[in-house]
Amino acid sequence: MRTLHIPQLPAREILLGSIETQQVKSSGSDKTALQPHGVPPMLTWIAMSSHKVVATKVRAIFPTNAGCAVFLGNDDKVFVIYVDPAVGSAIAMTMKKVSRERPQTHDLIGRIFQGLGAKVDRIVVNDFNDGVFYGRLIIHMDNEIGEKKIVEIDARPSDCLAIALQESCPIYVAQHLWNRMEDMTEILYKMEDQDLGFTKDED
């Protein structure tokens, strides 16, 4: 598989490291946000009704010299998030519907959710700051007394995308972030024409 260095793309996502989480309750609602210790608190996505989002999907994923470039967008616009090779491989395998003999990390996460009676409702790529993309994983489940509970988890967008594809749930981008991203549609079309090892969405 050939690789291609793509110049002048938005800065890549980075791993925040091994972090503990603390529980933050939204007043007046049974909504929980898991926020990493040591990371400046962000407005919880599920607590804010005014957030505007854009529906997107993973249009394609392409191997680069340092990992993989994920082309995320819709018919109007596409932008790129760089991910590490392992997550890129997981995303590509899910898009190709490749079966795995044993569960990989994101498969395991999905099975844990299933075992706990939780379901991934949606994921949101919600911010970009200092070269880092941020994501939110929104899941819902029944609590101890049978009431619905919504849980919001701060996560890498790459992991969010892998889980979203695996669980077939909606992928959203915050409107304010969408407006900031440079449109890479033309680059996507050129790379498709060159047939350089793309994994494309076929829907």
Is the pTM for the entire model greater than 0.95? no
What digits encode the pLDDT tens for the residues 136-192?
Answer: 999 888 767 777 888 888 999 999 999 999 999 999 999 999 999 999 999 998 887
Where does the pLDDT of residue 200 fall: very low under 50, low under 70, confident under 90, or very high at 90 and above?
A: low
Q: Going by C-beta distance under 8 Å and a sequence separation of 6 or more, which residues neighbour residue 136?
A: 45, 123, 124, 126, 152, 153, 154, 155, 160
Domains plus CATH for the chain? 21-200 (3.10.690.10)
